[in-house]
Amino acid sequence: MSPMEFVDLRSDTVTLPTEEMLDAIRHAKLGDDVFGEDPTVKSLEELAAERMGKEAALLVTSGTQANLVSLMSNAQRGELVILESESHIYWYEVGGVAAIAGLLPWTLKSQFGAFDPEDVEAAIRPRNIHFPEPALVCVENTHNRHGGTIVAPKQLEAVSRVAKAHGLLLYMDGARIFNAAIALRVDVREFARHVDNLMFSLSKGLSCPVGSLVVGTAEFIEKARKNRKILGGGMRQAGIIAAPGIVALEKMVDRLAEDHANARFLAEGVSKIDGVKVDLKRVQTNIVLFDISSLGLADNQFIIKLEDKGVLALMHGTHVVRMVTHFGIEREHAEKAIAAVAAVVDDLRLNG
Ligand code: TLP
């Protein structure tokens, strides 16, 4: 919960560290991680690699840095990267894919985040003097802009088959991959095994203050470590970031199921309100999107009115509101959010 007793549903990034995380920070054994001497960072990286069934991992400052480091480590400047047209990398990462990694983004539409393998096949043009070299395919799981939707292991496998057949690598922005694993009740390795490398965030549903992990082969992580350094992401006593990450992997993964149950409750409640449309099929994890186009409000007007009722949310495009459940949001807060949406809609009706 944020200060002032707002029900803060803007993002799972607003989560605060648990007492156990704060204790772990206080007692972490530290060293200079640029010299490879921080034992807590090493433990977290080993744990992350083991959880994903990969050889090695690298702690980075943010999800955006994780994606950028991974793009740089998976492809050479001037090469082509296939991105999902609503992906976080394409929409929200300041164009780092082009500006810094120097890659040509080639976007494809998808069904809730899952590419049709035939579309991927068609996008990979034959080697030709006129064409950029295709290097990489990226998937996002869960998919943020589609509403926290899951790309199932089978769907990943189908894309992986096409990528492999053409000598391309497959990378997953798995910022919320543990949400996908918990929702489908499968080991997270079931997702990770179909991609060459991936990242996941500590600072979202897992409640850590800072950090993401890039995970893959030892060779890839060595390149990623160097690319992290060129981006200024080499950290010194980073054990204070890693310590809560270890707590998160051990204690905060299973509870994501509560966030999903609360998101479902919230979505069903909001879907009963006249004038608000929710696509319940998309509510698969901790994100709820609802369409308010019939209310005829411009820009942030709905969000401002919700805030007056003590609930914080974000606009997601012009007529879609996003609410995200997370640690600290209980059933009663979801109830309060439903009541607030209903009250805003009622006020609008009364005041024309
Ligand atoms: N997403 C944030 C905002 O940037 C929109 C959020 O509130 O959802 N990949 C995915 C799939 C993400 O959702 C995000 C963050 C990132 C990468 C970037 O992570 P950070 O914010 O740590 O750089």
pLDDT digits 0-9 by tens, 29-69: 999 999 999 999 999 999 999 999 999 999 999 999 999 99
| pLDDT at 297 (0 to 100) | 85
For residue 351, what pLDDT is reported?
80
Quick: pLDDT tens for 267-283: 999 999 999 999 999 99
Cα of 42 from ligand 1 centre, angstroms: 25
Mean pLDDT of 181-198: 98
Atom 3, ligand 1: residue with shortest CA distance: 92
Beta-carbon count within 10 A of 25 CB: 18
State the pairing for strand pair 80-84/104-108: parallel
Give the pLDDT confidence score for residue 142 in this predicted structure.
Answer: 98
Specify the pLDDT at position 258: 98
Residue 92 has pLDDT above 90, yes or no: yes
pLDDT at 350 over 90: no
* CB distance 84 to ligand 1 below 6 Å: no
Q: Cα separation of 205 and 258, whole Å?
A: 11
| Span 111-122, pLDDT tens digits | 999 999 999 999
Is the beta carbon of 45 within 6 A of some atom in ligand 1? no
pTM: 0.97
Q: Among candidates 143, 177, 142, 203, which has minimal Cα distance to 15?
A: 203
Which residue CA neighbors atom 21 of ligand 1 most closely?
63
> Which mutation among 14, 201, 241, 320 tests ligand 1's pocket best, with the greatest number of atoms within 8 A of CB?
201
Neighbours of 4 (CB within 10 A): 8
Q: What is the pLDDT of residue 352?
A: 64
> In which band, very low, low, confident or very high, does the pLDDT at 299 lie, cut at 50, 70 and 90?
confident
Q: Is the pLDDT of residue 349 over 90?
A: no
Compute the mean pLDDT over every residue in the chain, rounded to the nearest whole number: 96
Tens digit of each residue's pLDDT (9 = 90 or more) over 238-263: 999 999 999 999 999 999 999 999 99
pLDDT 10s digits, 308-348: 999 999 999 889 999 999 999 999 999 999 999 999 999 98
Cα–Cα distance measured from residue 100 to residue 72, given in angstroms and rounded to the nearest whole number: 8
Query: To the nearest 5 percent, what fractions of the chain are helix, strand and coil?
Result: 45, 15, 40
Tell me what pLDDT residue 4 has: 59
User: Does the beta carbon of 173 lie inside 6 Å of ligand 1?
Assistant: yes
Name the residue of 15, 64, 321 to mutate for ligand 1: max ligand atoms within 8 A of Cβ: 64
**Measured on CA atoms in the order 269, 275, 280, 286, is the torsion positive or negative?**
negative
Q: What are 63-88's pLDDT values in tens digits?
A: 999 999 999 999 999 999 999 999 99
For ligand 1, is residue 287 a contact (CB within 6 Å)?
no
**Range 210-217 average pLDDT:** 98
